[in-house]
Structure 1
Amino acid sequence: MSITGAAMSMSLSTGSRSLLPRQPIRSLCRFLNTSSSTFPTITPLYPHTPQYAYSIGLSYSSKSSPPFLQPGEKVRPYGFLEKQETEIGKWVGQMMDLEAGRGELVSSALGGWGQDVRDQVRKWGAGEDFFAVQSVKGDLHLALSDGVGGWGDRVDPSLFSQALCYHYARSARSLGSQRSESIDPQDLLRSGYKDVLADKAVSAGGSTLVGVRLDEEGEGRFVNLGDSGYAILRDDKVKHISSPQTHFFNCPVQLSKVPSSMGQMGIIHDSPESADVESHGLEVGDVVVLFTDGLSDNLPVPHLPLLSSALTRLLDSPTNAHLSPSERDAERARLFADMLVGYGRMAMARTGDEDGGKGWKTPFELEAREKMPQWGWKGGKIDDITVITAVVSEKD
């Protein structure tokens, strides 16, 4: 008997981050969640050292998708997906065609991924978030970018985030073909950002980015600029979690492309050199999680190990004893990404009045209470949310 279950469908809530100080607008929006697929393991690069492989999970939810469409409200298009004649458009389509579990999650099947789900994924997308998955000479590069919503009154913020992920992945391929050694993620951030500035398809915008290089020797090399982030879980405990980079509350450190006509408006634009760069040794069974702030603004850190433990109990159930180690890792990666996005959406819908106001609080509410008490903010913050998970295993 295989693991089965319906993909989570919980309601959410939103807010957009600032180029300049501005209070988020709290309004009901919409969602779609897709979950992960498992990617092929990496070809050995160092045959005489321990070899590690990674099962990948992907899940995302747009704040502009059902069930929060208002009567008569039109579907908002995002990014390059409709521009399939362009190289970026084709690549965005390829990323969104990565198979994801919906409906019954069965390790030996595609997890309910059918044409109807594919159509829904393409229709709603990841909102102003985007992602990249790129294998290069035995290294696996993963990245998430979150478009800064404060640009929304001028341009589509997802154009910048999609272009940054595209050029990040393209730089990984290009630099990987030129060098024999592994590529540092900060070099990819520098190169990708430089290419976005030169890309005429993006007139303006800004975003954060978190990325990691996972190599065959079990090292994770991370780059993080802004308030997206990453966590490493070991034995259902948080071994490490990144700290957000912000200029002030709700205004992250961010890469920007500012038109000359706006050059004197004081818009924030930071450098790739501002990114935090760290390396962490990984062990078999570790779970790496990359996330945009749609998760971290709504999910209290102590809830992470609780969710991980719940998944471990499910995988340890006798009904799943037939799973091979590789199938188990694949299910953990896929299901954990879905769990986090589903739980994040549930948290976005919190009002702050649960249990007479004594229920647990979202990180966004707690920080707003401390730094912007005049807002009187309560509950969750509706936002796009994207999660990539990677489960570490030793190669056969």
Structure 2
Amino acid sequence: MMEASKNTDETAEGSLNAEKLLQIGYDRVVADEAIAGGGSTACVAIGKGNGSFQVANLGDSGFAQLRLNAVHYYSNPQTHAFNTPYQLSIIPPKILARSKIFGGQPLSDYPRDASVTDHQVRHGDVLVFATDGVWDNLSSIDVLRIVSRHMTSFRAWHVGEKGLEVSDHIRDLTIEGGIPKEHENTLQTLLAVTITGEAKLASLNTRRDGPFAREVKKFYPSEEYHGGKVDDICAVVALVVEE
């Protein structure tokens, strides 16, 4: 989607926002004749040099803004009903025709239906963007615990005179080779890999009830659903550093 924005007139300073970016990506997919059909949730963000950023979130993917061992913001999923998220869709003509015969209508949402929110970041904030495969198995507090563990162990967050503070050396941890790992050699990469790894383990755990299992119990109290939920798992993590 970011690549699509380069070849449009929408990239003039200040004119491109998160919803427009989502629309550009969606239009490119719809115009691609190689794509016969499908659907996807989406979460895109645009940040500016002054520390402001805007997020367009559609469906049950989402993001969390973490600040010094606290969840500063956590997005709410968009659903039509239980386990029925908003999603951008391309519906093949045959399926549309079949739906009309039986009186149904496939769910199809658009970029304009996304929840658009504006935020301000601070030096040392951690932004976590993830698919529902993460949030169905890990709560925002679970993700905070993972992030805090690594941020404090590498002293990106450390206890100072005023309590928990951002390290003066946090930028060094975000550049290539910033942490002594063979593959995850930046702190933000390590955080993303750890979050996805923990989400996968939770999804396969039949004894630990995650967020999805708790939602099942809320909507269907008689159901004996336990454990995690196997689903697509992806995370992108950004560390905010003031230059």
Q: TM-score, normalised on structure 2?
A: 0.82
Contact kept? 2:212, 2:228, Cα under 8 Å: yes
Distance 1:343 1:212 in 2: 24
What residue number does 1:347 align with?
A: 202
Contact kept? 1:255, 1:270, Cα under 8 Å: yes
SS of structure 1 residue aligned to 2:140: coil
What residue number does 1:252 align with?
A: 85
Identity within the alignment, %: 32
Contact kept? 2:5, 2:11, Cα under 8 Å: no
SS of structure 2 residue aligned to 1:381: coil
Contact kept? 1:285, 1:391, Cα under 8 Å: yes
Task: Determine if the alignment matches structure 1 residue 364 to structure 2 residue 190.
Answer: no
What residue number does 2:225 align with?
A: 377
2:106 corresponds, among 267, 284, 287, to 267
2:148 corresponds, among 286, 309, 312, to 309
What residue number does 2:164 align with?
A: none
What residue number does 1:134 align with?
A: none
Change in CA separation of 1:302 and 1:180 when aligned onto 2, cut-off 3 Å: closer
Change in CA separation of 1:270 and 1:324 when aligned onto 2, cut-off 3 Å: same
Distance 2:155 2:2 in 1: 36
Greater than 4 Å deviation, 4+ residue runs? none
Contact kept? 1:298, 1:364, Cα under 8 Å: yes
Distance 2:213 2:13 in 1: 47
Task: Determine if the alignment matches structure 1 residue 335 to structure 2 residue 174.
Answer: no
Task: Determine if the alignment matches structure 1 residue 386 to structure 2 residue 225.
Answer: no
Shift of 1:274: 0.8
Contact kept? 2:126, 2:239, Cα under 8 Å: yes
Contact kept? 1:337, 1:388, Cα under 8 Å: yes
Shift of 1:380: 0.5
Change in CA separation of 1:177 and 1:227 when aligned onto 2, cut-off 3 Å: closer
Contact kept? 2:189, 2:237, Cα under 8 Å: yes
Shift of 1:192: 1.9
What residue number does 2:19 align with?
A: 186
SS of structure 2 residue aligned to 1:393: coil
CA displacement, residues 363-389 of structure 1 (integer Å, 9 cap, x when unaligned): 011001121345421100111211001
Contact kept? 1:229, 1:244, Cα under 8 Å: yes
Contact kept? 2:212, 2:229, Cα under 8 Å: yes
Shift of 1:272: 1.3
What residue number does 1:279 align with?
A: 118
Structure 2 unaligned regions, length at least 5: 100-104, 157-167, 176-185
Structure 1 unaligned regions, length at least 5: 1-167, 318-322, 353-359
Report which structure shows greater RCO (CA 8 Å, sep ≥6).
Answer: 1
Change in CA separation of 1:221 and 1:177 when aligned onto 2, cut-off 3 Å: closer
Please tell me the root mean square deviation across aligned C-alpha atoms, in Å. 2.0
Shift of 1:324: 4.5
- 1:179-218 → structure 2 map (5 Å cutoff): 179-218=12-51
- Counterpart of 2:47 in structure 1: which amino acid? L
Distance 2:241 2:15 in 1: 20
Shift of 1:309: 2.0
CA displacement, residues 177-229 of structure 1 (integer Å, 9 cap, x when unaligned): 75233511101212222222221010111111000012211111100000000
CA displacement, residues 45-94 of structure 1 (integer Å, 9 cap, x when unaligned): xxxxxxxxxxxxxxxxxxxxxxxxxxxxxxxxxxxxxxxxxxxxxxxxxx
SS of structure 2 residue aligned to 1:210: strand
